[in-house]
Amino acid sequence: MRAAIYQEAGRVEVHEVPDPRILEPTDAIVRVVRACICGSDLWAYRGVIQRPAGSRLGHEFIGVVEERGAEVRGVGVGDFVVAPFQWSDGSCPACRDGIHTACVHGGTFGAAGTDGGQGELVRVPQADGTLVAVPGGAAAVGPELYPALLALSDVAATGLHGAVLAGVREGSTVAVVGDGAVGLSAVLGAHTVLGAERVILVSSHEDRAALGRALGATDVVSARGEEGVEAVLAMTEGLGVRHVVEAVGTPSSWAMCIGMARVGGSVGAVGVPHTAPQLALFPVLRKHLSIALGIAPVRRYLPDLVARVTAGWTAPGRVFDLELPLEEVADGYRAMAERRSIKTMLAA
Ligand SMILES: [Zn+2]
């Protein structure tokens, strides 16, 4: 089969690799229908973090089950499935608490020794605890649903999780810092899934702000830093916002979040802090803030979100603004690294 292989910073290539085989009776083999490139894939591509040369890439994919191990019961051959970006057994204490991304038998697609989503086939460990089948099988899933279903494998659920961590409820006012695919998905999740009334998006890119408005943002703040914080305070009678979603993970985005949070407010963070932000805790103490961080347990949200998509909710797929064949994956990395694409979808 063909798969995207990481070579070095700035270089991703597609090569022929051996087809995956069932290794454990709990495995399934999935033929990828669509995959995508994640903002987090860009950290190694940009040389910010190290990644072994020759490793597979990609952790977001949808596809059709081609083979299953002897103990797999929950999904069958021919099922159209959505995979969360990490696999999980669904039965350990962490999974039972809904924190599937801390599963004792879990792991991430594309990590050393595993298949990545950016390829033609993927061996999925713990298939029963991981994959969610779309009702009706492959015949019931038209291409018009692919972008939305694919978005559920990471960004749609990750953005929603940020809003959940921030305590967003029906009627809430929430601010989202970050206008990448996760931030935009947080806007959508807060607005559509959780019922927030006012959603303030911090975005200095006009095209992303426009998409944010289409996904449910009621206000856009284009200024950054102190100026951005002042703008949000001015919109909220000087009080700040009770619920803030951090979807970037840098020291400056954290400073904005803490600055615009209202006394007694909550910050829910899903931006991956690769640059090790130094979090100043005194302002958090002084403002009585609750701060929650977590790698989104996408699997927890999938059954509900898949049902919404099959009922016609295509909005999550709007974060994709470029589609390429797998063979041209390198162009997708370049487009996202140069911020010409919010998120690139790959057809295997
Ligand atoms: Zn588990």
- What average pLDDT is seen over the chain? 96
Reported as a single tens digit per residue, the pLDDT across 159-194 is 999 999 999 999 999 999 999 999 999 999 999 999
Find the 175 Cα to ligand 1 centroid distance in Å: 32
Find the 108 Cα to ligand 1 centroid distance in Å: 13
Distance CA(154)–CA(297), nearest Å, equals: 9
Those residues whose beta carbon sits under 5 angstroms from the ion ligand 1 are 88-89, 92, 95, 103
Instruction: Check whether residue 26 and residue 101 sit in a common domain.
Output: yes
Instruction: Check whether residue 318 and residue 267 sit in a common domain.
Output: no
Please report the pLDDT score of residue 277 as a whole number.
59
Find the 129 Cα to ligand 1 centroid distance in Å: 8
The list of the chain residues with pLDDT below 50 reads none
Instruction: Check whether residue 57 and residue 99 sit in a common domain.
Output: yes
- Joined together, the tokens standing for residue 208 give 């992303």
Closest CA to 47 of 339, 344, 341, 333: 333
Instruction: Check whether residue 104 and residue 202 sit in a common domain.
Output: no
Please report the pLDDT score of residue 275 as a whole number.
64
Instruction: Check whether residue 171 and residue 121 sit in a common domain.
Output: no
Instruction: Check whether residue 126 and residue 147 sit in a common domain.
Output: yes
Instruction: Say which CATH number the domain at 103 has.
Output: 3.90.180.10
Find the 333 Cα to ligand 1 centroid distance in Å: 32
Instruction: Check whether residue 106 and residue 214 sit in a common domain.
Output: no
From 271, 293, 315, the end of a domain falls on: 293
Return all residues near 136 (Cβ < 8 A) that are at least 6 apart.
80, 310
Please report the pLDDT score of residue 89 as a whole number.
98
Number of domains within the chain: 2
Instruction: Say which CATH number the domain at 255 has.
Output: 3.40.50.720
Give the domain range for residue 58. 2-154+297-347
Find the 110 Cα to ligand 1 centroid distance in Å: 19
Please report the pLDDT score of residue 153 as a whole number.
98
- Joined together, the tokens standing for residue 101 give 């991304």
Instruction: Check whether residue 121 and residue 133 sit in a common domain.
Output: yes
Reported as a single tens digit per residue, the pLDDT across 291-337 is 999 999 999 999 999 999 999 999 999 999 999 999 999 999 999 99
Instruction: Check whether residue 113 and residue 227 sit in a common domain.
Output: no
Instruction: Check whether residue 71 and residue 28 sit in a common domain.
Output: yes
From 293, 312, 329, the end of a domain falls on: 293
Instruction: Check whether residue 95 and residue 142 sit in a common domain.
Output: yes
Instruction: Check whether residue 322 and residue 193 sit in a common domain.
Output: no
From 254, 276, 293, the end of a domain falls on: 293
Find the 86 Cα to ligand 1 centroid distance in Å: 11
SS3 labels along the chain: CEEEEEEECCEEEEEECCCCCCCCCCCEEEEEEEEECCCCHHHHHCCCCCCCCCCECCCCEEEEEEEECCCCCCCCCCCEEEECCEECCCCCHHHHCCCHHHCCCCEECCCCCCCCCCECEEEECCHHHHCEECCCCHHHCCHHHHHHHHHHCCHHHHHHHHHHHCCCCCCCEEEEECCCHHHHHHHHHHHHHCCCCEEEEECCCHHHHHHHHHHCCCEEECCCHHHHHHHHHHHCCCCCEEEEEECCCCHHHHHHHHHHEEEEEEEEECCCCCCCCCCCHHHHHHCCCEEEECCCCHHHHHHHHHHHHHCCCCHHHHHCCEEEEHHHHHHHHHHHHCCCCCCEEEEC
Distance CA(139)–CA(61), nearest Å, equals: 18
